[in-house]
A and B are shown apart, each in its own frame.
Chain A
């Protein structure tokens, strides 16, 4: 914790000190019926950590910005509670809600229009847990601005690698001017990790000394000047802070603005932006790394709320039935909860009014309020929402997230990384797929729960959790989809057929006219919307289409060489088109599945399959080595064409594996 305190008088010279807290996550979380900012972390809502920190830092007025949504009222109510408890002398908190707000950019534009921001202000998210000293940051920012008027923002980073833990925005690769701290390059770590880092030497023209921080932790904390909201409103295309940073760096000469960064070597600041971060930060709060924000102190009243035993590092509300010596360490127990003497708990947080019966084992479990866990349950690295009931002998494998009101058991085991909710998800497209009655195989005889598929965004987190490159379930699901296609209704089939035909036509034309890849992408996207196709279908069709785009030019019985020539021309021409659709390892799997499917439809491509794989992997780096090897070992899409395809590409994959192994040693300095 930085202890250097700036004199208050200097900060308050002209204006009051303001902060903007963004609470833009409108979706209700899996853990409770309410906005994410109000999810309790170690029995204190996330937003309270942010507000308490801002208040400690001497902020006079905080604007909590959220979307006008049913949950906006909950936030408003919460903030009113916060200010009432603090009385008149505390920090002012006002909630601004807007109908149409999807990003930081929208929020900034709205606040600019309402001219609520008067001077330099702090811009943070509502889920940040931090103890760094904002006052000294503000002083530094103002000092810098005195010296250089072009600085509009100071971004705060921590010089420690915490991994991205499912949030790509938690990490950044920075290049800064070592003398002025000016930000010269800002990149998010890319998924398809290249082995090289490129440093443009033109940067040396203006800065003789650079500082490169390969993996800085980004808690999304910034000190902004009034130019920031106005810049957002001048540029409607700026959505996130990243797009603003990119815009300012790229158009430095045009805009005349610069961004500075402050890379801290010590201090605590992190966003709770994913379940992995939730788990990590909870542990850190229990371990008192976020001092002075520790579990036994209520952040709303600043009174001691929990008993604390330093030896076991356990915390408990005086009204809880919890014996501090009973086989638990690093445990937090909320008001009115009853914990059996025989329960073994570690690194766990238990909310208010929970009951934990005999012989329950819990390691790194996060349990909200009014949860009942009956005898013999085993919990490992999981999250339980409000009002969950676990009957006897339920075992939760790591990574399970159990939504509010779910009942499970007795005597069942839930597979790793399963997400369960009490009310079946409403899905407008596949209503007939979801059974409305809970499946007793999943949730047990007395249970009531439905499995939901994790959303796209949260997918990465699970990968990190399982420490695997490609999520296996994910992949199986993909292959299921491929084999599911015959079950489609005639209408769907017709639609898909039409789409495929149109796609083939546009690709063939594009190849003939050698159109720019942006235009091809536009055309594909237009067709996709017209036929309402899923991204998976598009990728499959595009992949096959690209390989077959030159088909009309060659005869049925041409030689393998001329076939390959045609295919190669086409792949080379459309490599950027294909790349455009590939964002994740899963997309690469789809491409390979598509190639496999193509082999079923037209086996004539079998002899060139190896070359296609080679080209996509080695020349265009569309397919990653690991993904290819993994896919191959898992038996591809498991269609009838795989055995023959396997023979065709086996040599390449074996080579790739060897290459992978010797890669490091082979790699010379060039």
Chain B
């Protein structure tokens, strides 16, 4: 059977922006609602009709990853590769790791990050990718400040955060320029050739790269080739994409130099009807100088999605996604047997569980508990007289009888009766009887870890 596309999920990310949580659990397996984070992109791919998915995880997590599919009723065959994360590899290194797994027969490669939560339909992005004749289509979304600027529990920290700058041609979505936040100073330099190939440009800092890319196979090969300039680049988003986007507007280098690197022009594959496809699908007038570049500069496009599209890559958005999962779940995890209150959960009769709470599989909610607007993970046990308000609980958590927990993220058992407000708990040993904790991070000290 001819496969049109191959999907790769990059799940080896160390979660640098949420280290309190990722000390014990890899980022891709952090619970989001009652499911591990990686389930959301996997479900997205499954919905689009993929049956095989390549997943790159960090070394040592292959076992846990392989269980995810079975555990959460996904109908996918996972091909799991692992990458050594001790020296902080970039996304491009992950991709290089699975280079041998990319099939020669496919047309496109779908690359998606493990932390994407969205209700976009992958098929629509794919359709646009093909109709525009793009070599690269990038999913972008509005920067949603309610997620990125949310206040997670724990001591107050000021989010320092530089927006990405994404520059597209008005009306067509052609990607003209992109630079990652932090990679620019007082000025952004645009080459004249970029300006001349569009009548007007939208330069935005309110649009974010959602880390879902569809690339033509030749482009992936170019990225992975050791002879290209991409050979020694580490990050897909910060280095390789800006490079490819800018190469769209450069002329083909002269052939005669022996020392020159492999150029995008050398590997570019044009299909027989490419030009016709572009001609009849582009909704706008041809750019004024469309002939001035030898390379057809219609290589990179964005697919801008206005709906829900958030990455759980910071503590802020991770927290807020959990908090809102009850209302988002049906959209971002459609057609699944999994529901916000799992049928296997044992909610006892006199337990009060609000409608906007999520209860995972096999959890036990005892009598005389009050759970409001909270997420309770799988196989948890909430003992009697516990009050949970605006909380997020991981899997396999036991909460001792009589605890009052508000606005907190609990990733460890709370075995003694206490009051916890606005805290992150990752170490059970830090909890003492009858104490009150406010605005703290209760984690194992690094010295003993």
Chain A residues within 8 Å of B, Cβ to Cβ: 159-161, 178, 193-202, 204, 208-216, 263, 662, 664-669
Q: Chain B residues near A216 (CB, 8 Å)?
A: 200
User: Is B270 part of the binding interface, using a Cβ–Cβ cutoff of 8 Å?
Assistant: no
Q: A198-B188, A214-B201, A667-B250 are in contact. List 15 more A-B contacts (CB 8 A).
A: A161-B288, A195-B191, A196-B191, A201-B165, A201-B188, A204-B165, A210-B203, A212-B195, A212-B201, A214-B199, A216-B200, A662-B254, A668-B246, A669-B247, A669-B250
Q: Are A669 and B243 in contact (CB under 8 A)?
A: yes
Q: A198-B187, A204-B165, A204-B205 are in contact. Are A161 and B199 (CB under 8 A)?
A: yes
Q: Are B202 and A178 in contact (CB under 8 A)?
A: yes
The minimal Cβ–Cβ distance linking A183 to chain B, given in whole angstroms, is 14
A196 and B194 CA atoms in complex are apart in Å by 9
Partner of A199, one of B187, B242, B243: B187
Q: Are B199 and A160 in contact (CB under 8 A)?
A: yes
Q: Chain B residues near A198 (CB, 8 Å)?
A: 187-190
Number of interface residues of B (CB under 8 A): 37
6 nearest interchain CB pairs? A669-B246, A214-B195, A665-B253, A208-B206, A664-B251, A210-B203
Q: A196-B192, A204-B163 are in contact. Are A664 and B250 (CB under 8 A)?
A: yes
A204 and B191 CA atoms in complex are apart in Å by 19
The minimal Cβ–Cβ distance linking A176 to chain B, given in whole angstroms, is 10
**1/0 contact string of B146-177 vs chain A (CB within 8 Å):** 00000000000000000101010010000000
Chain B residues within 8 Å of A, Cβ to Cβ: 143, 163, 165, 167, 170, 184-192, 194-196, 198-207, 242-243, 246-247, 250-254, 288
A92 and B188 CA atoms in complex are apart in Å by 50
Q: Chain A residues near B253 (CB, 8 Å)?
A: 665-666
Q: Chain B residues near A197 (CB, 8 Å)?
A: 189-192, 194-195
Could you list some 22 contacts between A and B, CB below 8 A?
A159-B200, A196-B191, A197-B194, A197-B195, A198-B188, A198-B190, A199-B187, A200-B186, A201-B165, A201-B184, A204-B163, A208-B206, A211-B201, A212-B167, A212-B195, A212-B201, A214-B196, A214-B199, A216-B200, A665-B252, A666-B253, A669-B242
Q: Tell me if A's interface is mostly helix, strand, loop or mixed.
A: mixed
Q: Chain B residues near A201 (CB, 8 Å)?
A: 165, 184-188
The minimal Cβ–Cβ distance linking B231 to chain A, given in whole angstroms, is 15
Q: Are B196 and A665 in contact (CB under 8 A)?
A: no
The minimal Cβ–Cβ distance linking A554 to chain B, given in whole angstroms, is 40
Closest chain A residue to B265 by CB distance?
A: A665
Q: Are A665 and B251 in contact (CB under 8 A)?
A: yes
Q: Are A210 and B202 in contact (CB under 8 A)?
A: yes
A398 and B192 CA atoms in complex are apart in Å by 32
Q: Are B202 and A195 in contact (CB under 8 A)?
A: no
Q: Chain B residues near A666 (CB, 8 Å)?
A: 253
Q: Chain A residues near B143 (CB, 8 Å)?
A: 208
The minimal Cβ–Cβ distance linking A218 to chain B, given in whole angstroms, is 14
Q: Chain B residues near A159 (CB, 8 Å)?
A: 199-200
The minimal Cβ–Cβ distance linking A179 to chain B, given in whole angstroms, is 9
The minimal Cβ–Cβ distance linking A186 to chain B, given in whole angstroms, is 15
The minimal Cβ–Cβ distance linking B266 to chain A, given in whole angstroms, is 13
Q: Chain B residues near A669 (CB, 8 Å)?
A: 191, 242-243, 246-247, 250
Closest chain B residue to A199 by CB distance?
A: B188
Q: Are B191 and A214 in contact (CB under 8 A)?
A: no
Q: Chain A residues near B189 (CB, 8 Å)?
A: 196-199
Q: Are B200 and A209 in contact (CB under 8 A)?
A: no
A571 and B165 CA atoms in complex are apart in Å by 39
Closest chain B residue to A669 by CB distance?
A: B246
Q: Are A209 and B191 in contact (CB under 8 A)?
A: no
Q: Are A665 and B254 in contact (CB under 8 A)?
A: yes
A539 and B243 CA atoms in complex are apart in Å by 44
Q: Chain A residues near B165 (CB, 8 Å)?
A: 201, 204
A330 and B254 CA atoms in complex are apart in Å by 46
